[in-house]
Structure 1
Amino acid sequence: MSKEKLAIRGGAVGLNIPNIITLCRFALIPLFLVLYLNGYSIEALATVLLSGLTDILDGYIARRSGQITVTGIMLDPLADKLMMLAIVTALLVKGEIPWQAVAVMAFREIGMIASSAFFHFRGLKTVPANVLGKATTIVYYGSIMLLLLEQPGGLALLWIGIAMSFLTTAVYFLKFRNLNRAS
């Protein structure tokens, strides 16, 4: 079934198993911060990886069981963006990345959150994740893994991910504009 034909259920609340899993990802954010800022880098990385796995799991369950909801459409990317902001803020606090990287990422992520909410409340259609967005996420996770484990190449990979994220944003906005012009 195509993504456009998937039924969106649950109205404004839509609390189901995929959305409960998504809500658990929000709880992983402070857990990551406590672990990493107290010197438990391996455990913090495991928390980030768990968050990534539950992101895949909630999306799979929602699509597979027809449990896609408006709530899930809004909460899923918000959980991702807040986790990413928490990670880069923690890396900044520990001196692993420069403030410029955090500023650029925060600008993009906050802009995406605000735009998504604005468009949602105006009743406009949203664009699902695409291959470039997923590739950007993989690059970010690779850089995070290297940075948390204090391995070389993490910062360079992070800047590549940042560049990819802006390219991805441009593609999303073009698709968004075309999708909402057609309807």
Structure 2
Amino acid sequence: MEKEKDVWSFKTSDLVAIPNIITYVRFVLIIPFVYFFLAEQYIYAAICIGLSGLTDCFDGMAARKLNQVTPLGKILDPIADKVTLFAVVICMVIYVPMVLPILVTLLVKDLLMLIGGADLIKKRLTPPSANWYGKVGTIIFYFSVCLIVFLKAFFAYENMVLDLVLLSVTAASMLYALYRYGKIYFAMIKEYNESLKKTADIKNK
């Protein structure tokens, strides 16, 4: 279990750390993506979501390479993922209404992860960093969305079966990530409860 200061010791320098600046770009890209998508300018929308996906990969790499892994970054990164996902989900439901059940599954998964992360922070524990299965799920998500938008933008091609397959694979990868993160979450909670019990036993002696 990580120490309290690892979670709560924010520094002013964290705000301008390069990985966090990259994460800010992901928040900014949401606005033009939604605008271009709703305006049916799918090429520009695809560029925005593609850039968002690249920044999602680069912020973690930059944090490790530059040794700038910060508590703020650990919180901002998943929030940026969730907000971007929420924006894309709304647009995709407008575009392909029949995929709503699959997209709701993705939203539920991310909502559960947000609740779990908030619970860990409330207990002054550091939420786990992104692991390979989380990143793979994100990459598959961005690939699926970009492909669907690209086919419509450049070839005016729409295939409901293809859309459902791509989004189903995306949902499966993200649910697997939820399962793996869930195991980490419950292990941390178990360790936290055992630590509280030991502390209480010591005080009662």
Normalised to the residue count of structure 1, the TM-score between the two structures is 0.85
Query: SS where residue 129 of structure 1 aligns?
Result: coil
Contact 2:30 2:84 (8 Å CA) reproduced:
yes
Pick which of 30-39 and 114-123 moved more. Answer: 114-123
Contact 2:10 2:72 (8 Å CA) reproduced:
yes
Distance across 1 between alignment mates of 2:120 and 2:7: 19
Equivalent residue letter for 1:12: F
Match of 2:171 in 1: 162
What's the CA shift string for 1:126-151, capped at 9, x where partnerless? 22222222222222122112221335
- Seen in structure 2, the aligned counterparts of structure 1 residues 10 and 51 have a Cα distance that, compared at 3 Å, is farther
Match of 2:123 in 1: 122
The alignment of Structure 1 onto Structure 2 pairs a total of residues equal to 178
Distance across 1 between alignment mates of 2:164 and 2:89: 11
Match of 2:92 in 1: 91
RCO (CA 8 Å, sep 6+): is it higher in 1 or 2?
A: 2
Q: Which runs of 5+ in 1 are unaligned?
A: none
Whichever of the two has the greater Rg, that structure is 2
Q: Which runs of 5+ in 2 are unaligned?
A: 193-205
Identity fraction in percent:
31
Q: Looking at secondary structure, tell me which structure has more helix per residue.
A: 2
Distance across 2 between alignment mates of 1:26 and 1:171: 26
Match of 1:101 in 2: 102
Distance across 2 between alignment mates of 1:145 and 1:116: 28
Asked if 1:12 is matched to 2:13, the reply is no
Contact 1:136 1:161 (8 Å CA) reproduced:
yes
Contact 1:25 1:54 (8 Å CA) reproduced:
yes
Distance across 1 between alignment mates of 2:149 and 2:66: 35
Match of 2:197 in 1: none
Contact 2:23 2:80 (8 Å CA) reproduced:
yes
Query: SS where residue 29 of structure 1 aligns?
Result: helix
Asked if 1:173 is matched to 2:182, the reply is yes
RMSD: 2.4
Distance across 1 between alignment mates of 2:36 and 2:8: 35
Distance across 1 between alignment mates of 2:131 and 2:85: 18
